[in-house]
Amino acid sequence: MQRPGNHTIDIADLLIWAFRDQQVESAAAAHPDATTVYWAVMALPHAHARIVSHFARVGQGPDWHAGPDRVVQLETVRKARLLYAEWVRALVVLQRTLDGALIHYRVSGPRLEETPWRSRRASG
């Protein structure tokens, strides 16, 4: 039998579980861990809370790649990468805040790079 707090979950997966699967924002009786996750997100600065909750409901993170157009606008790429980096930073804060605070989960991650476009450029 697994003891409470022994199930390890990545912060991005935990957020998806709480916001999309548990529907913590509208559920009358959400799982206690989902409620704790919700309040941790709401304690973030408003812009970060909005970004995190949106992508958790969608079930995936923001796309940092350039759009499918043949002509890529530098400003569009810059905004997409900034949004992605801010999202990853917020996940790091949430992981540190929530690890040890939940009943059934230990929180790991995020398993993401803050600036993956830099490592792709260096390796490509």
Encode 39-98 in three state secondary structure.
HHHHCCCHHHHHHHHHHHHHCCCCCCCCCCCCCCCHHHHHHHHHHHHHHHHHHHHHHHHH
What pLDDT score was predicted for residue 117?
A: 80
Higher pLDDT, 6 or 70: 6
What pLDDT score was predicted for residue 66?
A: 63
Say how far apart CA 3 and CA 35 lie, in whole Å. Answer: 20
Q: What is the pLDDT of residues 93-112, one digit of tens each?
A: 999 999 999 999 999 999 88
Say how far apart CA 65 and CA 81 lie, in whole Å. Answer: 8
DSSP 2: P
* Domain ranges for the chain: 7-119
Mean pLDDT of the chain: 88
Q: What is the pLDDT of residues 13-26, one digit of tens each?
A: 999 999 999 999 99
What pLDDT score was predicted for residue 68?
A: 63
Judged against a pLDDT cut of 70, whether residue 85 lies above it is answered with yes
What pLDDT score was predicted for residue 77?
A: 84
Note whether 32 and 70 are within 8 A (CB).
Answer: no
Q: What is the pLDDT of residues 58-79, one digit of tens each?
A: 999 998 876 666 666 888 888 8
